[in-house]
Amino acid sequence: MYKKLLIINLAVILLVTAVYIACFYFMNYPMQFNLWYMIKECQLQYLPAIFAVTALASYLVSSLDFKKLNFKSKFLSVFPLLNTLALAFFVYIAADGFIKNKIELRKLEDYYTKEAEKDIRKGQIVIRYAGGLSLSINDEKTNKKIDSIYKRYGIVYKNTGCIIDRIDREAQEKYSELTHPYLDRRNGKGWEGRMEKEIHDLKKISKK
């Protein structure tokens, strides 16, 4: 009997640990699935404290006189039950975070879909990038010429700031999915390479 209870306890502990780690992924959706990164970042150091709490609660409950079972049998029966409650809590937290992030992602995708349709009509596609304030190494005249090259290819670069929001970044993929085919139709295949070459040649001339 003890062997069976020990196996059940071990299985529940492993399941709680797995769900605790997975909880980090779902609460941070849409992040790329990386098991090693999840293990490092999910703050596993708190998990032993959780098991210590359930063990203490199991000890107190097992100290009560009921069912005429010995302490060991009661503890091994109560401990997995309390850990199952902890498991249910982690599942709830993970599901709640996942659903909220999914709804937020869908809203942003709808927003970027409308932005893409509007920008395609205007013929001016916004290329967003994250970064802080940067000092240009080019003079004002060269920067204006570079901007005119971007404009000729139908794009505008926009700095979105230092803070990178994973949900917003994922939603921007919807914008890219809609606008990249438009830019290919407008400028022809390989337009990015041609544009970068024009800018590179312009910078070389301006430095002479």
In a domain, 116, yes or no: no
Indicate the SS3 state at residue 155. strand
Q: Which residues lie below 8 Å from residue 30, measured CB to CB, with a gap of 6+?
A: 101, 105, 166, 167, 170
14 and 61 assigned to the same domain: yes
| Helix axes of 71-122 and 47-62: crossing angle, nearest 10 degrees | 150
Instruction: From residue 69, give the alpha-carbon distance in Å to each of 5, 72, 88.
Output: 14, 8, 27
Residue range 127-169, pLDDT digits in tens: 988 765 554 566 778 888 898 999 999 999 888 776 778 899 8
Residue range 12-30, pLDDT digits in tens: 999 999 999 999 999 999 9
Average pLDDT in the chain: 89
79 and 148 assigned to the same domain: no
201 and 151 assigned to the same domain: yes
Distance CA 73, CA 62 (A): 8
53 and 134 assigned to the same domain: no
Percent of the chain whose pLDDT exceeds 90 = 68
In a domain, 117, yes or no: no
The predicted model scores a pTM of 0.77
Distance CA 58, CA 33 (A): 35
In a domain, 114, yes or no: no
Q: Which residues lie below 8 Å from residue 76, measured CB to CB, with a gap of 6+?
A: 2, 5, 6, 8, 9
94 and 138 assigned to the same domain: no
What does the pLDDT average to over 117-135? Answer: 81
91 and 148 assigned to the same domain: no
Residue range 157-206, pLDDT digits in tens: 888 776 778 899 899 999 999 999 999 999 999 999 999 999 998 888 77
Q: Which domain holds residue 77?
A: 2-103
